[in-house]
Amino acid sequence: MRGRSLVVYMLVLLCLAAYYYFFEIYSPIAEDINDKAPAILNLNVADVEEISISGTDSVTLSKRGLSWWITAPVEIPADPREIEGLLADVYRLKSRRTLENPPSLVDAGLDPPGLILGFRTKEREILLNIGNANPTKQYCYARSSASPEIFLINAYEKSRMDKDLFTLRDKHVLKAACKDITKISIKRHGLIMEYQMHRDGRWHLLEDHTAKLKTERLNDLLVRLCRTQAKAFIDDTSVSGNPDIIIELFKRDGSEVLKIWQVPHAQENICAYSDVLGEFVAIHDSLLPLIPHDPIEIIDRSLIILNTEMVEKIVLTGKDIQVFTNKAGTWFSGEKRLEDFSAVKSLIETLQSLEYLDEYLRLPEDVHRERSIEISYQDSSVFFDIGLYSQYYVGLGDTYYQINEGGMKMINDSFDMLMKSARE
């Protein structure tokens, strides 16, 4: 009898284990059905006017026109992307399974709930209560105000919707859109650098409109500034002295200022003050390399700008003369087809990377011409006669430029490489 009872107990235990595995852990059929089920809250997110979150933090948000604001525990602008993400998660929220024999509200962590989400529209208010994880830790127990039933949702969905105050607040240190900026002022090391956007879409020095600037460099800085967010909000007592850098962005309806102290704050962050946020913040120090130290740093000293697709002919003159021609995308040295075009590409890229140090109308008497590079376009409308001189001088038309030793070595190496490719 004792052996028979043991067998019965084992069978009961196996049945319970199978039930638990199928209904609590596996249950693939229920998953497939509920993936096609309607959203839990049946909520039109466009109609939501107020959101309340009681979890890690207790936060209330209200919609004002097209913008969202945090109204409690403080009144500050909210991050629109975080709100959009939260509403999208709520819209997609589906029940993984409704429980026929649910645990008690206390055991499910629903009395009181660990996370309460409230959504108010003009017509109604809906509450979503989320409790503890189930035994598998894969799901969480949940219940909405629209139904007394307890159901399961994915555990990661709870973590995504439990947003704290820092996550929800707008942390952009500047509000201006890049397209609206007409002027940039940078004060650094006692220097004042001011750049004005002209109608041609290019940046110019405010005091010298003739100076050619690296527009892409300033645009990169502007984009980065407009995207910079606070990594933390810090106590103003931890910042002392005058700021190392002051950046002011001007637009038609005003300006915004960001003050930066190059003081380390927690690993890769530095201190700043945003007049938009009205607080001291920590921002990532990767912004610093993009901020110029002086006006000359932004001046475009490119020696030559080539349209690589239009280059049809290259003539190299040194001890020998060699002509390279582009025919329908294939390069030839005389009548010989080049097997490898990398030497041509290297020469063009090297020329485009060169920057000059100074500009002259005349050459010193002891400087002599050593080599030359002639480049012409397909339609012959553009022709470059580039002379390579001793003492690191380069002639381009009627103007002469001095480059550094490294630049001259690069161009001579590319010259020699292309000459060698013609002999192979």
Q: What is the mean pLDDT of residues 28-50?
A: 67
Please give the Cα distance from 129 to 151 (Å, whole number). 11
Please give the Cα distance from 298 to 214 (Å, whole number). 6
The pLDDT value recorded for residue 38 is: 53
What is the share, in percent, of the chain residues with pLDDT greater than 90? 67
Min mean pLDDT across 10-14, 196-200, 263-267 is at 10-14
The pLDDT value recorded for residue 30 is: 41
- Asked if residue 308 has pLDDT above 90, the reply is no
The pLDDT value recorded for residue 415 is: 96
Min mean pLDDT across 63-72, 80-89, 303-312 is at 303-312
Which residue would you say has higher pLDDT here, 339 or 351?
351
Q: What is the amino acid identity at position 282?
A: A
- Asked if residue 110 has pLDDT above 80, the reply is yes
The pLDDT value recorded for residue 14 is: 61
pLDDT per position as a tens digit, 176-189? 999 999 999 999 98
- Asked if residue 100 has pLDDT above 60, the reply is yes
Q: What is the mean pLDDT of residues 48-59?
A: 97
Min mean pLDDT across 34-38, 208-212, 383-387 is at 34-38
CA angle (162, 167, 171) in 5-degree steps: 165
pLDDT per position as a tens digit, 410-424? 999 999 999 999 887
The pLDDT value recorded for residue 11 is: 60
The pLDDT value recorded for residue 33 is: 40
The pLDDT value recorded for residue 395 is: 96
Q: What is the mean pLDDT of residues 318-329?
A: 93
- Asked if residue 160 has pLDDT above 90, the reply is yes
Q: How confident is the model at residue 60 (pLDDT cuts 50, 70, 90)?
A: very high
The pLDDT value recorded for residue 26 is: 42
